[in-house]
Amino acid sequence: MNLLCLQCLSFLSFLQYLNLLLWLVFATLAVVVLYGLRDPISFPEDALSRDVSALYNATHKIVWGACVCWVIFACATGNGGFMNTLLSWSPFVPLARLSYCIYLSHAMVIFTYYDSQRSLIYLDDLNIIYVFLATLVLSVMVAFVASLSFEAPMMGLEKVIFKRDRRN
C-alpha cells in the first residue's frame, strides 16, 4: 500500500516558489496556533476579544492538524527539503522505536513519584525543571527495559513467523 501511495503521489512535484509559499503559509499557521493566545491572567492587556477567542477555539485543532498533514504530505512527495532530511536523521531511529514505550511508561513514573511524597510539594520553576528532567530520564530507562523485554522478542518472533520465501 505504501509503495502504491508513493507511486500515485510521485507526480506531485511542486514548483519551487509554490513549495516555498506553502511551507511559509503552514509554518505561519503553526506558529499562530502555538503562540496565538497569551495568558489572559498574566497579560490582561493582551487578552483577546470574545469573538477572536471563539474563532481560535473553533479552528485551532483543525489548523494544527492541517499543518502536520502538510509536513507529512510534503515529505512523502519529495517536497520536504530540509525538514525531510531532519526528520529522517538516523539518531531519531532509536527514539522512534522507544517513543511508544515512553508514552506508556511515563504516567507510571509520574504517579510513582507523586505517590511517594510524604509532604506537600513546593512548586517553583527549579523544582518543576528537576521533576521534568527526572521523569524524562526515568521514563526513557523504563521504556528501554520494556522495549528489550517485550517489543524486541515480539519483533524477532514476527520475523520467524512471517519470514518470506527467498526463492520467489
> 43-74, pLDDT tens digit by residue?
666 677 788 888 888 999 999 999 999 999 99
Q: Structural domain tally of the chain?
A: 2
Whether residue 61 is found in the same domain as residue 121:
no
pLDDT value at 155 more than 80: yes
Whether residue 73 is found in the same domain as residue 101:
no
Determine, yes or no, domain membership for 106.
yes
Whether residue 45 is found in the same domain as residue 119:
no
Q: Given 87, 117, 140, which residue is the final one in a domain?
A: 87
Q: Given 64, 87, 110, which residue is the final one in a domain?
A: 87
DSSP states of 52-121:
HHHHHHHHHHHHHHHHHHHHHHHHHTT--THHHHHHT-TTHHHHHHHHHHHHHHHHHHHHHHHHT--SPP
Type and span of the H or E element at 134: helix 125-146
pTM of the model: 0.64
Q: Given 87, 106, 125, which residue is the final one in a domain?
A: 87
Whether residue 69 is found in the same domain as residue 19:
yes
Q: Given this model, what pLDDT does residue 1 score? A: 47
Whether residue 77 is found in the same domain as residue 98:
no
Determine, yes or no, domain membership for 41.
yes
Domain residues for the domain of 143 are 92-161
Whether residue 112 is found in the same domain as residue 77:
no
Whether residue 34 is found in the same domain as residue 82:
yes
- Which tops the pLDDT comparison, 119 or 41? 119
Whether 62 contacts 70, CB under 8 Å? no
pLDDT value at 144 more than 90: yes
Whether residue 69 is found in the same domain as residue 103:
no
Whether residue 70 is found in the same domain as residue 11:
yes
Determine, yes or no, domain membership for 98.
yes
Q: Across the chain, what does the average pLDDT equal?
A: 84
pLDDT digit string (tens) for 77-121?
A: 888 888 989 988 888 888 888 999 999 999 999 999 999 989 888
